Amino acid sequence: MFRYLFNKKKNRLNKYHWSLYNLNRFLNLQRILVVLFLIVLFSILRISDNRIKFGKYNYVFDRETILEIRSSHFYNITIAQSDSLRMLRFDMSSIQGVIHLKNPFIILLNYMRLQFLCLLWKSEPERILIIGLGAGILPKIFHYLSSNTLIDVVEIDSEIMNLAQKYFDFNENDHIRVYIEDGQHFIKRQPSNQYDVIIIDAFTVKNHVPHKLRTSRCIAEYLRTLKSTGLVIGNFFYEQEIRYRQIYKRALFKQIYRGIIQNNHILIGLNQQAKIFNQTELQLRARNLQQSKPLFDINWVDETKYIHIEYDDE
């Protein structure tokens, strides 16, 4: 009887120890799984913190190669590359242009897609003025889409021009001319009623449009050199957009459209004889543009959803 009770107690103890052993193994396994989960999570966060997505393309800074760093009178300019993407930026942070080396006509920057929506109003513009060269993507693709258009580009920094030629396959031709000078001085020298489209895409190292290019007086000069049916497109960082929109309203544009995307806002100001289109009309014109001027990886109709008409009662 005593032995039976002893064995029974012993069995209970063995089961107890076995349960503790299993519990301990389970807890250890849990700890291992938690550690593995944290490692994976950290890796994902680390990767996401070290890359920028341009649509379906990733620029991974951990795989970046610095091709050249050059200082000018205005900027510290970095040319860098990650896999098939090549980038121009100011002071290691402010991205001024990105191209896909295997297909340079992919528009990687979302705000730049909206700048091309000026073609909804002017599908074959006679003359375009672009203030700010960057990597030369805008004039190059405008020329690709509308080969007869005369494109004037104003860039204050000759080093930007040199680097655009060296690393981004940008070159002047019979239809693209670059002027190395201050944008405000250039616009004052131009005759009236000359351009179909004026695009302001110039930034300081702090991501501000240069003050001289965003005053009411300068915008009045844009309107003077613009054809009566023309339009002005300004590219701004989102935190500055409200202030610039007020300046555009004071400049007496016939109508203002807002292109709203992450980080950047686009303002489209129509001169007095330009046609005002509602959202449905913009989509119809975008369908025509999709047929007449298709561009790789872009659906022009989809891009119109970012364009909103600015009403006075706002």
Q: Which of 131-140, 144-153, 251-260 has the lowest mean pLDDT?
A: 251-260
Indicate if 96 and 124 belong to the same structural domain: no
Quick check: is 44 in a domain? no
Give 213-230 pLDDT, tens digit per residue: 667 777 888 899 999 999
Q: Are 167 and 145 in contact (CB under 8 A)?
A: no
Is the pLDDT higher at 241 or at 183?
A: 183
What pLDDT, on the 0 to 100 scale, is given for residue 313?
42
Please compute the mean of the pLDDT values over residues 4-15 and round it to a whole number: 53
Same domain, 297 and 212: yes
Which residue(s) pair with 153 in the sheet? Answer: 130, 178
Q: In what order do the strands lie in the sheet with 94-100?
A: 64-71, 76-82, 85-90, 94-100
Tally the domains of the chain: 2
Q: Is the model more confident about 148 or about 242?
A: 148
Q: Which residue has the higher pLDDT, 303 or 244?
A: 303
pLDDT in tens, 86-117: 999 987 667 889 999 999 999 999 989 999 99
CATH for 223 = 3.40.50.150
Cβ atoms 192, 221 nearer than 8 A:
no
Q: Is residue 190 part of a domain?
A: yes
Average pLDDT, the chain: 83
187 and 96, same structural domain? no
* HEC sequence for 289-304: HHHHCCCCCCCHHHHH
Does residue 58 form part of some domain? Answer: yes
Measured CA to CA, the distance from residue 144 to residue 164 in angstroms comes to 17
In a shared domain, residues 257 and 114: yes
Tell me the per-residue pLDDT of 266-292, one tens digit each, with 9 for 90 and over: 889 999 999 999 999 999 999 999 999
Residues 58 and 186 both lie in one domain: no
**What is the structure's pLDDT at 2?**
47
Per-residue pLDDT for 47 more than 50?
Answer: no
Positive or negative: CA dihedral 171, 97, 182, 91: negative
Higher-confidence residue of 184 and 124: namely: 124
- Does residue 7 form part of some domain? no
Domain assignment of residue 263, given as a range: 110-310
Please state which of the ranges 15-19, 91-95, 207-211 shows the lowest mean pLDDT. Answer: 15-19
Instruction: State mean pLDDT over 180-184.
Output: 90
Classify residue 294: in a domain, yes or no: yes
Q: Is 78 helix (H, G, I), strand (E, B) or coil?
A: strand
Same-domain check for residues 78 and 120 = no
Within-domain flag for 41: no
